[in-house]
Amino acid sequence: IEKGGDIGLLWSVHGDMSYSIPEEMKSGSVIGNIANDLGLDARRFSSRKARLDMDGSRQRYCDINLNTGDLIVAETIDREELCGPKVSCSLKYELVLEKPLELHRINVQVQDINDNSPTFSNTQINLEIRESAVRGTRFLLSEAHDADIGHNAVQKYSLEKNDYFVLGVHTNPDGGKYGELVVEKELDREQQQEVTLLLTAVDGGTPQRSGTVVIHVTVLDANDNIPVFTQNVYKVNLPENSPLGTVVSTVTAIDADEGPNGDVTYELGRISNRAGKLFLINKTTGEIKVIGPIDFEEETYYEMSVQAKDGLGSASNCKVIIEITDVNDNAPIILIKSLSNPIPEDVLPGTEVGIINVQDKDSEGNKQVRCAIQQHVPFKLNPSFKNYYSLVTTSELDREIISDYNITITATDEGTPPLSSSKTIHLSVSDVNDNPPAFEEQSYSAYVTENNKPGSSMCSVTARDPDWRQNGTVVYSLLPGDVNGVPVSSFLSINGDTGVIHAVKAFDYEQFRSFKVHVVARDNGSPPLSSNVTVSVFITDENDNSPQILYPAPAGNSLMTEMVPKAALAGSLVSKVIAVDADSGQNAWLSYHIIRAQRDISESDSMKQNLVISVKDNGQPSLSTTCDVYLLISDNLAEVPELKDMAYEDSSKLTSYLIIALVSVSTFFLTFIILILAVRFCRSRKPRMMFDGAVAIPSAYFPPNYAEVDGAGTLRSSYNYDAYLTTGSRTSDFKFVRSYNDNTLPADQTLRKSQSEFLGESIITLNVVGNTEVRLESYFEY
């Protein structure tokens, strides 16, 4: 329903709105409330980024108030500047809302108000009229121009009252009015040579506006014919961008007179200001030429009148209509209407990240635009309304692989040749904490020697997290737990930043040999992600335990005496020494030595012998323990003197004893080396068959915690110990050395070769030679 000139809504169809406003409204004036008219919630205008988009890039003129939903005038609109002589003048907008994308066409029709007065192109109209002009002769007057249209344009003319002329008013085919001076009373040059009149043009607006021009008539003697145009209307098509100097058209008027009276001159009459800057007519040839840039996008149509005048001032008019044709001279314009940047890496495929609008100022085919983006990016353009596209993701994004994209949008129109343009959007992908820290190893092992320094570092763990900043910052900690009932934190600590693990205290191999802890790596995201890894700590042995003699019982507690029958044969078993070492490996490899005999065995006291046996392990440095073995060589207990007598010593040969002992030790050392080599050699060639049996020693022999003892109370192979065979009586020299796996023992010796019975024992045999010499042989048997 047209409300004619009033402000307000004209019509609304399918969400398209049309408003009508008069020109020259003050900036800020309200045109209407779009929110109400479209049934939208004005409170959501801001969050939906409501805005008015206008085709092309001219001034905006209108805007919306996001708080109220009002359509307002943003700057004063001059209809004449905006639309010139066009009858219909409207501003076309699109109301764009996002989330979801919504588009409404808004049409604002600008109504004319009478703000322009009629004007004549010249301040004076000069006419030369022959005195013989008869009554009724007509002279065309140039038309007054009023920038307003319709009713507000020129409606009538009035002529100052005079004796000679009256005014005739006519209407052009385009609706414009023009006047003619009509001779009412014949002129007499002899009476009056000149006549000056005032012509007034009035428009139809309220209030009425008018413009005047002076008509100066010179009365002449001669007679002539008026020029006649070959066409009333000249209509031409002119491609835009025609170069300067292009001849648009040539108008021709013929005057039947001869001589100067027949010389026709041309001039442009009624013409808009804009057209006046673009076209020029050659006064004598009638050629209309281009003198300014012709732009189809500025104006598509020009209309002007041309006046032809002969030498005597008789004139006639014709009309020239120039229609500008489009040339594909505008590349499409790509406008980013909205863009979410950065986008989180966890957006689902198909998420809209931006809205693109393409425009082309050309018309028809030259305006048709196709839009595309480059391959190999996880985005695509979905055509939306008209020239709108949404940019959506096509697959999942992963910031850890690609953190930003340059998306190039190319728009191509369908002109010949086509024009295209492109625009690159930089899109960043923002981080989401989607990667837990990952340890570099599946598991870690740390080896530490017992009796370590508390606080020393043992090993370090490393976990990587590819997320960004705090989402990728890894903090290490120990998972609470216990080792034999003691919290792990009292054994180990971890540096939260570096992952270096420190021992909190000194470890004791004899207490435990290994334990496991779990280290957690956690990132600083919210919520944080974590992973854990097992760290196995292995404690290695140090020779910190001396051999412990189980049998005979330690000296001092009880004096145990072994009885040796006088008739004992060489190789008879006289006693056993059993020792253990809490360490392991080499550190528990024991060797037995008789380091001295207390005295010579003589006729008189040959029955008492006191031997000191040293048990030595093979650690670095090695540790040793000694024990005493008392031997009583007698068949009858009654013969035995007081045992304390054994304490009386004859030290006469002590020095030589020491020398012998020294030589023995040196020899032993040499033999030991040879033995080691032999053992190595044999081990490499033979299976260690001697380690497969169980030990007959009752478990009661061993101190608690001494060793890992399995359910049956048997020692594991790693607790077997080696011994070195030597002789130790003071007069005897080194008798033999035998490797534990050597099978060359004499058959007659009192060896019990049952491995199960003797594994791990030391057996000392005493060999009595003659009356004076007691030879002690010791060997070891597995």
Ligand X SMILES: *[C@@H]1O[C@H](CO)[C@@H](O)[C@H](O)[C@H]1NC(C)=O
Q: Which residues bind ligand X (CB under 6 A)?
A: 404, 406, 426, 430-433, 468-471, 479, 520, 525, 530-532
Q: Considering the complex, what minimum distance in angstroms separates the CB of residue 95 from ligand X?
A: 33
| Residue with Cβ nearer ligand X (213 or 343) | 343
Tell me the one-letter amino acid at 506. A
| Residue with Cβ nearer ligand X (32 or 525) | 525
Q: Considering the complex, what minimum distance in angstroms separates the CB of residue 399 from ligand X?
A: 8
Query: Measured between alpha carbons, how far is 141 from 176 in angstroms, rounded to an integer?
Result: 13
* Dihedral class, residue 42 (left if φ above 0, else alpha if ψ from -120 to 50, else beta): alpha
Q: Considering the complex, what minimum distance in angstroms separates the CB of residue 370 from ligand X?
A: 24
Beta strands per DSSP E along 141-190: 154-159, 165-171, 177-183
Query: Measured between alpha carbons, how far is 128 from 214 in angstroms, rounded to an integer?
Result: 14
Q: How many beta carbons lie within 10 A of that of residue 28, not counting itself?
A: 12
| Residue with Cβ nearer ligand X (7 or 520) | 520
| Residue with Cβ nearer ligand X (265 or 530) | 530
Query: Measured between alpha carbons, how far is 442 from 562 in angstroms, rounded to an integer?
Result: 60
Q: Considering the complex, what minimum distance in angstroms separates the CB of residue 391 from ligand X?
A: 16
| Residue with Cβ nearer ligand X (431 or 450) | 431
Q: What is the DSSP letter of 453?
A: P
Q: Considering the complex, what minimum distance in angstroms separates the CB of residue 343 from ligand X?
A: 12
| Residue with Cβ nearer ligand X (436 or 552) | 436
Q: Considering the complex, what minimum distance in angstroms separates the CB of residue 501 from ligand X?
A: 17
Q: How many beta carbons lie within 10 A of that of residue 80, not counting itself?
A: 21
List for the chain the helix, strand, coil content (%; round to 5). Answer: 10, 40, 45
Q: Collapsing DSSP states into helix, strand and coil, what is residue 743? A: coil
Q: Considering the complex, what minimum distance in angstroms separates the CB of residue 439 from ligand X?
A: 10
Measure the CA angle with vertex 281, ends 276 and 286; round to 5°.
150
| Residue with Cβ nearer ligand X (471 or 664) | 471
| Residue with Cβ nearer ligand X (241 or 531) | 531
| Residue with Cβ nearer ligand X (479 or 504) | 479
| Residue with Cβ nearer ligand X (351 or 532) | 532
Q: How many beta carbons lie within 10 A of that of residue 99, not counting itself?
A: 11
Query: Measured between alpha carbons, how far is 521 from 506 in angstroms, rounded to an integer?
Result: 26
Q: Considering the complex, what minimum distance in angstroms separates the CB of residue 544 from ligand X?
A: 36
| Residue with Cβ nearer ligand X (290 or 478) | 478
Q: Considering the complex, what minimum distance in angstroms separates the CB of residue 429 from ligand X?
A: 10
Query: Measured between alpha carbons, how far is 627 from 578 in angstroms, rounded to an integer?
Result: 10
Q: Which residues, 6+ apart, have CB-to-CB distance to 85 below 8 Å?
A: 147, 149, 272, 303
Q: Which residues, 6+ apart, have CB-to-CB distance to 373 below 8 Å?
A: 379, 380, 381, 391, 407, 408, 409, 410
| Residue with Cβ nearer ligand X (475 or 709) | 475
Q: Considering the complex, what minimum distance in angstroms separates the CB of residue 758 from ligand X?
A: 50
Q: Considering the complex, what minimum distance in angstroms separates the CB of residue 520 from ligand X?
A: 6
| Residue with Cβ nearer ligand X (287 or 400) | 400
- Lookup: tokens for 498: 């570096």
Q: Considering the complex, what minimum distance in angstroms separates the CB of residue 694 from ligand X?
A: 41
Q: How many beta carbons lie within 10 A of that of residue 278, not counting itself?
A: 24
Q: Considering the complex, what minimum distance in angstroms separates the CB of residue 486 from ligand X?
A: 20
Q: Considering the complex, what minimum distance in angstroms separates the CB of residue 537 from ligand X?
A: 18
Q: Considering the complex, what minimum distance in angstroms separates the CB of residue 379 from ligand X?
A: 13
Give the closest residue to 618 by CA, choosing from 638, 640, 588, 594: 588
- Lookup: tokens for 568: 């004992």
Tell me the one-letter amino acid at 211. G
Query: Measured between alpha carbons, how far is 73 from 22 in angstroms, rounded to an integer?
Result: 11
Query: Measured between alpha carbons, how far is 595 from 617 in angstroms, rounded to an integer?
Result: 15
Q: Considering the complex, what minimum distance in angstroms separates the CB of residue 403 from ligand X?
A: 8
Query: Measured between alpha carbons, how far is 279 from 291 in angstroms, rounded to an integer?
Result: 5
Q: Considering the complex, what minimum distance in angstroms separates the CB of residue 423 from ligand X?
A: 13
Q: Collapsing DSSP states into helix, strand and coil, what is residue 231? A: coil
Contacts 24+ apart (CB under 8 A), 349-353: 349/378, 349/393, 349/394, 349/395, 349/396, 350/392, 350/393, 350/394, 351/392, 351/393, 352/101, 352/390, 352/391, 352/392, 353/379, 353/391, 353/392, 353/393, 353/427
| Residue with Cβ nearer ligand X (406 or 498) | 406
Q: Is the peptide bond before 552 cis (omega within 30 degrees of 0)?
A: yes
Q: Collapsing DSSP states into helix, strand and coil, what is residue 275? A: helix
| Residue with Cβ nearer ligand X (529 or 559) | 529
Alpha carbon 394 to its chain centroid, in Å, reads 17
Phi, psi torsion values for 643, nearest 5 degrees = -65, -30
Query: Measured between alpha carbons, how far is 426 from 246 in angstroms, rounded to an integer?
Result: 46
Q: Considering the complex, what minimum distance in angstroms separates the CB of residue 323 from ligand X?
A: 45
| Residue with Cβ nearer ligand X (307 or 393) | 393
Q: Collapsing DSSP states into helix, strand and coil, what is residue 653? A: helix
Q: Report whether 373 contacts 381 (CB < 8 A).
A: yes
Query: Measured between alpha carbons, how far is 516 from 499 in angstroms, rounded to an integer?
Result: 16
Radius of gyration of the chain, Cα coordinates, nearest whole angstrom:
62
| Residue with Cβ nearer ligand X (520 or 623) | 520
Q: Which residues, 6+ apart, have CB-to-CB distance to 273 below 8 Å?
A: none
Tell me the one-letter amino acid at 379. F
| Residue with Cβ nearer ligand X (66 or 353) | 353
